[in-house]
């Protein structure tokens, strides 16, 4: 990691975070994103995870991992072996996460349809996140459908974060206007 990235990582890890005034209380079998940890953690997923785009099943697995972090719905990482990589086209964009490292982006192309920067991966994740190496995550709002089990997910607000909202996740969620310091 270069000096600039180290400085950026250290800066973002120490930014003061606010809590919203109203946090939804989880019921039985539900989770609140406000109970998720910071720094985030990686954990295995027990359900089947699927991603569809352009009448193609892009990903289908029972071996996904999810990253959970305070204020965000879970982000699902699918093993590359369970992703139809022939539909993914490398995009030049990269971003930096203070916890996970440098992300590489992918567009999806199926026939004449294309979704720009619809997926990302961490080829060399930071310490503590090695489990997501060789995994791909998808923006639910840039593909036709993502499912956790049989449930179609709702994309996290905004266009930067890639969390998937299900009926068992309670917010409010960061990503929308006014949530930058959550």
pLDDT of residue 18: 77
107-122 per-position pLDDT tens digit: 999 999 999 999 999 9
Q: Where are the domains of the chain?
A: 36-168
143: nearest Cα among 80, 66, 51, 48: 51
The CA-atom distances, in angstroms, between 70 and each of 55, 105, 174 are 34, 24, 9
Identify whether the C-beta of residue 115 lies closer than 8 Å to the C-beta of residue 86. no
What is the mean pLDDT of the segment spanning 28-43? 96
pLDDT of residue 57: 98
Q: Domain 36-168 carries which CATH code?
A: 2.170.150.40
């Amino acid at each position: 990691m270069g000096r600039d990235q180290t400085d950026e990582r250290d800066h973002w890890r120490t930014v003061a975070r606010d809590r919203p005034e109203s946090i939804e209380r989880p019921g039985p079998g539900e989770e609140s994103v406000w109970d998720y940890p910071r720094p985030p953690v990686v954990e295995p997923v027990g359900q089947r995870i699927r991603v569809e785009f352009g009448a193609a099943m892009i990903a289908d697995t029972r071996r996904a991992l999810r990253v959970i972090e305070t204020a965000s719905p879970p982000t699902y990482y699918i093993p590359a072996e369970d992703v139809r990589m022939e539909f993914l086209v490398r995009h030049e964009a990269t971003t930096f996460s203070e916890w996970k490292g440098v992300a590489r982006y992918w567009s999806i192309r199926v026939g004449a349809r294309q979704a720009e920067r619809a997926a990302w991966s961490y080829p060399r994740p930071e310490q503590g996140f090695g489990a997501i190496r060789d995994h791909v995550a998808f923006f639910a709002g840039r593909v036709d459908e993502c499912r956790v089990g049989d449930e179609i997910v709702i994309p996290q607000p905004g266009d930067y974060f890639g969390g998937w909202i299900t009926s068992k996740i309670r917010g409010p969620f960061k990503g929308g206007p006014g949530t930058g310091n959550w």
